[in-house]
Copies of this chain bind each other. A is one copy, B any other.
Amino acid sequence: MKRYGKVIKIKPDKLDYYKKIHANPWPEVVTAIYECNVRNFSIYYRDGYLFSYYEYIGKDYDADMKKLSKLTKDWLQETDPCQTPVESAKKDEWWAEMEEVFHTD
């Protein structure tokens, strides 16, 4: 299992909508996350930032992430316009990967 922590900015005028849609996520999105071997997935908000944490239990992360993007295409069309990548994000990075500096079970 591999843990991921990621960060992105949220547009202030889109925060309410983002929270609303995530309070009742589409069942097919929740199913897709599970099918793509992502577990224990949380998103947190504060001060214009969204932070996400999840655990990946599959064997081909890139393939599963590609599959997840496809399966959740309609959902991402709703949520992507709410977000802005952080300044340091790589060219093809949306949510920017953070560095794990500590972990204990």
| Copies of this chain, count | 2
Question: When chains A and B are docked, how far (Å) is the Cα of A8 from the Cα of B17?
Answer: 26
Number of A residues near B (Cβ < 8 Å) is 37
Residues of A within 8 A of B (CB): 3, 5, 7, 18-19, 22-23, 25, 30, 33-34, 39-47, 49-51, 53, 86-88, 96-105
Sample (27) of A-B pairs whose CB atoms are under 8 Å apart: A3-B42, A5-B51, A5-B53, A7-B44, A7-B46, A7-B49, A19-B101, A25-B102, A25-B104, A33-B104, A34-B104, A41-B104, A42-B102, A43-B100, A43-B102, A44-B51, A44-B99, A44-B101, A46-B86, A46-B88, A46-B96, A47-B86, A47-B87, A47-B96, A49-B49, A50-B101, A51-B51
